[in-house]
């Protein structure tokens, strides 16, 4: 490196001497720098700023000024090359090259230029520089390492091993070089030699867990699985908190499909605070997403997730994972308690409230549903999703007009047309239920609603309202499959606008082709239009996909078969519908009509 040079020009001293001889008070000396030394002074000041104060803001402009004064000033190019090596490889290489061109004997310039060429993947140009360096600077093991890496990049692993052998003879065992050599020996299939190298490291330092890990990994690479397993387990016994030991054995077990040891070791790994949480969560998600594997290893995976929760009790991703696991195992009461435990989290989490509400609803605890909906609304007063839950509860209780009002509150809070479209669909569903109840009351000649909730609307108005609501829903969200389906079905039931119903149901089954309910609607619309063969084909698919044993689908299929003259099968499906819970009067009516048809 260039040493600092302090220069006091002779003519400055002479000027000060003359003033002293005349009896004048000498002024503060003014440093006059010869042109030949201006670049050196700039460089020296820059070096002071860098080495003493680590002040790159001051140093960089000074280095550039030095080069402006003298474009061949090698020390400034060297410093700039070093500085830019981490941020601007192209610029760093340019400065390193200029420094080296000015002095090809400098090992510092040569090393920097060689490193920049290697980082730029110009291996052919970098190689001769490092070959030269290990001759000129024999005591620097890093030159041997880089030269070996260059040979490796040029697909010359045997030359790389030879370089590392030379380094080992000169310096002895250096872990970084030993690991590189072991890797190259494995790559060239020199397994016995690789194992010997790894064993020597263990023999030299038997209590260093890293050496035992490398020996186990080398055994694994050589296909000696029994020795690899024993050695890697030994490493874990030596230090059960070692991330390297645990991850190496996890990878080994994964490659060998040893799921029991894999999951047991993952459990240990998940207990380590220094192993990144995002990686733990990603591994857990992949395991639970693989349904066949998840089903087979429910309990060890659950134990692993429980460990993750114990060590990360406040992490939402972990809380969600464990809650989902309990749900997947069917432990609904445990899942309910799990999510309830986090309802007072700060900041409050809507997900936990929704999980509790849905679980209480599924478990048929209506009072609890009401309680937690109200509690959630106190914490999230402007969330439309909670208003949907509230409206659903009102609907179930029979407070249909109240449900409509609550849906309208949610619409006012919705922040996008998709959600507004869905909400208007719910309004349409509710008004249709109001119309149905009014129809039932009219047929039964009931003047007062026995549910205790008044329907302050006429039948005619309710029919108008549900149609308007569906139109509004689809104007906001044209591909709302539920609104398309429900609107189409209710039009068919109302015995009108069949073509419109067909168009909407066609779109609904395009959006969700395997939805049995939507296929049923489409088949029913075809039936209403007299397209019985088409209706039968669609209804067959609906019945195949139905997992609920729907009485409505069986009734409809019986009606379609009857229209096609297949009376025996029609009767069979109507009887199946009756067994599934269909209205006995409706089934009896159809069976009576069937007798008339059979007698014709």
Q: Taking the chain, what is the end-to-end CA distance rounded to the nearest angstrom? A: 115
pLDDT of res. 321: 94
Encoded tokens for 482 = 């539920």
pLDDT of res. 18: 41
Output the 3-class SS for 60-102: HHHHHHHHHHCCCCHHHHHHHHHHHCCCCHHHHHHHHHHHHHH
Under 8 Å between Cβ of 336 and 363: yes
Under 8 Å between Cβ of 238 and 212: yes
CA–CA dist 400, 317 (Å, integer): 38
CA–CA dist 361, 8 (Å, integer): 91
CA–CA dist 527, 536 (Å, integer): 8
**CA-wise closest residue to 149 among 141, 137, 157:** 157
CA–CA dist 205, 173 (Å, integer): 11
Report, as ranges of residue numbers, the positions in the chain whose pLDDT lies below 70: 1-36, 447-451, 600
> How confident is the prediction for the chain on average, in pLDDT?
88
pLDDT of res. 30: 56
**CA-wise closest residue to 528 among 554, 500, 549:** 500
CA–CA dist 142, 146 (Å, integer): 6
Q: Mark out the alpha helices in 290-331 (DSSP H runs).
A: 291-296, 298-311, 316-328
CA–CA dist 402, 407 (Å, integer): 9
- Helix pair angle (175-187, 157-171), 10° resolution: 150
The pTM (predicted TM-score) of the whole model is 0.64
Encoded tokens for 57 = 């803001």
Q: Is 224 left (phi over 0), alpha (psi -120 to 50) or beta?
A: beta
DSSP secondary structure string, 346-404? Answer: SS--HHHHHHHHHHHHHTT-HHHHHHHHHHHHHH-TT-HHHHHHHHHHHHHHT-HHHHH
């Amino acid at each position: 490196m260039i040493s600092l040079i302090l220069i006091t020009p002779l003519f400055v001293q002479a000027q000060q001497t003359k003033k002293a001889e005349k009896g004048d008070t000498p002024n503060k000396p003014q440093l006059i720098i010869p042109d030949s030394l201006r670049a050196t002074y700039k460089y020296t000041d820059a070096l002071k700023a860098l080495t003493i104060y680590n002040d790159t803001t001051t140093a960089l402009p000074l280095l550039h000024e030095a080069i402006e004064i003298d474009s061949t000033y090698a020390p400034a190019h060297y410093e700039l090359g070093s500085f830019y090596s981490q941020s601007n490889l192209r610029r760093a290489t340019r400065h390193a090259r200029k420094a080296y061109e000015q002095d090809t004997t400098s090992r510092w310039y040569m090393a920097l230029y060689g490193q920049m060429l290697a980082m730029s993947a110009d291996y052919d140009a970098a190689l001769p520089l490092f070959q030269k360096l290990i001759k000129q600077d024999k005591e620097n093991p890093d030159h041997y390492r880089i030269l070996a890496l260059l040979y490796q990049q040029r697909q010359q692993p045997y030359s790389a091993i030879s370089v590392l052998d030379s380094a080992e003879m000169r310096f002895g065992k250096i872990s970084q070089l030993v690991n590189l050599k072991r890797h190259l020996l494995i790559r060239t299939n020199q397994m016995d030699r690789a194992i010997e190298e790894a064993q020597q490291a263990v023999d030299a330092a038997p209590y260093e867990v890293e050496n035992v890990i490398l020996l186990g990994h080398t055994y694994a690479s050589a296909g000696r699985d029994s020795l690899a397993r024993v050695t890697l387990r030994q490493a874990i016994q030596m230090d059960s908190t070692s991330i390297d030991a645990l991850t190496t054995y996890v990878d080994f077990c994964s490659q060998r499909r040893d799921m029991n040891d894999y999951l047991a070791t993952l459990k240990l790994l998940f207990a380590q605070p220094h192993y990144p949480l995002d990686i733990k969560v990603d591994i857990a998600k992949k395991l639970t997403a693989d349904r066949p594997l998840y089903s087979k290893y429910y309990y060890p995976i659950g134990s692993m997730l429980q460990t993750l929760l114990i060590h990360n009790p406040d992490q939402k991703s972990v809380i969600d994972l464990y809650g989902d696991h309990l749900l997947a195992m069917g432990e609904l009461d445990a899942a309910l308690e799990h999510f309830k435990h986090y309802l007072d989290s700060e900041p409050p989490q809507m997900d936990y409230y929704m999980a509790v509400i849905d679980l209480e609803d599924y478990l048929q605890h209506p009072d609890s549903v009401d309680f937690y909906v109200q509690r959630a609304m106190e914490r999230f007063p402007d969330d439309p999703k909670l208003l949907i839950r509230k409206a659903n509860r009102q609907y179930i209780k029979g407070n249909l007009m109240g449900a409509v009002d609550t849906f309208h509150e949610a619409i006012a809070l919705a922040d996008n047309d998709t959600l507004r479209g869905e909400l208007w669909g719910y309004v349409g569903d509710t008004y249709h239920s109001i119309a149905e109840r009014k129809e039932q009351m009219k047929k039964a000649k009931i003047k007062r609603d026995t549910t205790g909730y008044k329907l302050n609307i006429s039948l005619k108005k309710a029919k108008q309202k549900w149609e308007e609501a569906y139109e509004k829903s689809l104007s906001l969200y044209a591909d709302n499959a539920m609104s398309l389906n429900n609107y189409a079905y209710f039009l068919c039931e109302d015995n009108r606008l069949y073509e419109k119903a067909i168009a909407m149901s066609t779109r609904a089954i395009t959006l969700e082709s395997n939805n049995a309910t939507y296929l049923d609607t489409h088949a029913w619309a075809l039936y209403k239009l007299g397209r019985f063969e088409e209706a039968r084909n669609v209804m067959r698919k609906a019945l195949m996909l139905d997992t609920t044993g729907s009485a409505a689908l069986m009734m409809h299929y019986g009606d379609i078969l009857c229209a096609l003259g297949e009376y025996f099968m029609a009767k069979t499906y109507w009887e199946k519908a009756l067994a599934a819970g269909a209205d006995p009067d409706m089934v009896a009516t159809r069976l009576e009509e069937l007798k008339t048809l059979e007698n014709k």
